[in-house]
């Protein structure tokens, strides 16, 4: 896929994920629109949405990612209790699965 076409598709998927995560957290940031293939072949981030959680010193980050763990949207920082409540709502209301693998986040 050409770079700009892949970027346009990826940006649409990121925007959708950001809106979804914002609905549950109040504010979410966009993340990665393209898969890093390391071979000059451009692909948009995956269409599917999975929820993931990362624990850091500041609290928990909630991520909407694709099946490969590529982050499409992130929201930060939450207490354990808030994180549990948000993730529960996302999983039950959106029928979304949780992702437990390696996450690829924007640097």
Please state, rounded to an integer, the average pLDDT across all residues of the chain.
95
Q: What pLDDT does residue 39 have?
A: 79
Q: Is residue 104 part of a domain?
A: no
Q: Would 69 be classed as within a structural domain? A: yes
Please give the residue range of the domain that contains residue 73. Answer: 3-93
Q: What is the pLDDT of residues 30-72, one digit of tens each?
A: 999 998 767 778 899 999 999 999 999 999 999 999 999 999 9
Is there a domain that residue 98 lies in?
A: no
Cα 105 to Cα 84: distance, rounded to the nearest angstrom: 21
- 84 located within any domain: yes
Read off the pTM: 0.93
Establish if 55 belongs to a structural domain: yes
Q: Is residue 103 situated within a structural domain?
A: no
Q: How many domains does the chain have?
A: 1
Q: CA distances (Å), 78 to each of 1, 32, 39, in order?
A: 37, 21, 37
Residue 99 domain flag: no
Residue 78 forms part of a structural domain: yes
> Can you tell me whether residue 6 is helix, strand or coil?
helix
């Amino acid at each position: 896929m050409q770079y700009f076409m892949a970027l346009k598709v990826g940006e649409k998927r990121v925007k959708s994920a950001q809106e979804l995560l914002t609905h549950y957290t109040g504010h979410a940031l966009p993340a990665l629109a393209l898969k890093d293939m390391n071979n000059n072949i451009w692909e948009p981030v995956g269409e599917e949405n999975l929820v993931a959680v990362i624990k850091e010193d500041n609290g928990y980050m909630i991520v909407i990612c694709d099946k490969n763990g590529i982050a499409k949207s992130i929201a930060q920082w939450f207490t354990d209790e808030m994180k549990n409540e948000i993730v529960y709502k996302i999983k039950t209301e959106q029928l979304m699965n949780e992702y437990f693998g390696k996450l690829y986040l924007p640097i």
